[in-house]
Amino acid sequence: MIKNQIAIVILNWNGKALLEQFLPSIMAHSSSATVYVADNASTDDSVTFLQSHYPTVKIIQNNVNGGYAKGYNHALRQVDEDIFCLLNSDIEVTENWLNPVQELFDTQPETAIVQPKILDYNNKAYFEYAGAAGGFIDKFGYPYCRGRIFDTIEKDLGQYNDTTSIFWASGACFFIRKSVFKALNGFDEPFFAHMEEIDLCWRAHNSGYHTAYVGTSTVYHVGGATLSSTNPKKTYLNFRNSLFTITKNAPKNLFFLIFTRLLLDGLASVKFLLEFKVSHILAILKAHGHFYLRLPQLLKERKLLRRQNAHVFNSKYYDISSIVWQYYLRKRRIF
């Protein structure tokens, strides 16, 4: 059996306080892996702190803050291990968290991407929003998770302690084979941040790769440490990048999907209006504006991806046609 080497790569931007808080658990429970910190041109003293307190951590210094996508693309070119673990700086890991993931990669060569169970650091009995127990997507590109559908978050009662196939893995704790990351040309850098991991998983799916969830590995995630859910920029990135992802990867009926998303995103704007969140309505409008400006380039990328993966590109990517319908009209709250 081949034993793959794991590199834990933490992307940091002005996150000294987070490194102080969460790096100790990573160092204590990850002796089998090599730990890197990829610094996205921080202006605080993160790098100095690492050099003085964690001399065994390998530091990769990016020249600019290119967000999650560009930051990792640049950093991972300098990492030699077989498996990349992209780990948010606001995650606490647990004892033996790497062992089940390592075993899966070692024994299942068809598995390319893996996510562990992600629980809420501030309320450890519950799943955490960004990934929970593995992600899926509906026909119109809206993501949801086992353990979290929109704002409904389940308590962890062991119901997702399994190992199973999922559609997308959370970027908060994202394992991927180096060979696959390279074959897929990494993250799409114009995404900057948010949903770039869903785009990558969808491209992996369309290339015939397998994504899995391992419920016997647990981490705790703070969430929103870089950009909170109340920030309109997060709304902008999520809505824009979701449209980018559909356009590049959905197998057919593209313009029907985009038209439907226009209507559904309009309903989201009405919801924000009723909540007096005008800045979020403007964020959705901005997201659509930037999407239409980029549409010609996205269509070129779509054509190229279809040509590269014609044998699997039309495979089904969803189990639920509309999670919006299921959640808001049928009142389905549990996966």
316 has pLDDT over 90: no
- What is the rounded (10 degree) CA torsion for 16, 40, 235, 332? -70
Amino acid, res. 222: V
Give the CB-side neighbour count of residue 161, counting CA atoms within 13 A. 6
Least confident of 111-115, 149-153, 305-309: 305-309
- Residue 229: predicted pLDDT: 67
Query: How sure is the predictor about 313, in pLDDT bands with cuts at 50, 70 and 90?
Result: low
pLDDT tens-place string over residues 33-63 = 999 999 999 999 999 999 999 999 999 999 9
pLDDT tens-place string over residues 59-109 = 999 999 999 999 999 999 999 999 999 999 999 999 999 999 999 999 999
pLDDT tens-place string over residues 247-289 = 999 988 899 999 999 999 999 999 999 999 999 999 999 999 9
Query: How sure is the predictor about 2, in pLDDT bands with cuts at 50, 70 and 90?
Result: confident
d(CA 318, CA 308): 21
**The whole model's pTM is what?**
0.94
| Rounded average pLDDT over 323-327 | 94
Q: Domains (ranges, CATH) in the chain?
A: 7-221 (3.90.550.10), 232-329 (no CATH)
d(CA 36, CA 179): 19
Local structure of 98: helix, strand or coil: helix
Helix ranges (DSSP H) in the chain:
16-29, 46-53, 67-76, 98-107, 178-183, 196-206, 232-249, 254-274, 278-308, 323-324
314 has pLDDT over 70: no
- Residue 308: predicted pLDDT: 83
**What average pLDDT is seen over the chain?**
94
Query: How sure is the predictor about 141, in pLDDT bands with cuts at 50, 70 and 90?
Result: very high
225 has pLDDT over 60: no
pLDDT more than 90, % of the chain: 90
d(CA 77, CA 324): 39
* Closest residue by Cα to residue 174 from 228, 210, 213: 213
Contact 81, 47 (CB under 8 A): no
pLDDT tens-place string over residues 10-22 = 999 999 999 999 9
d(CA 19, CA 37): 9
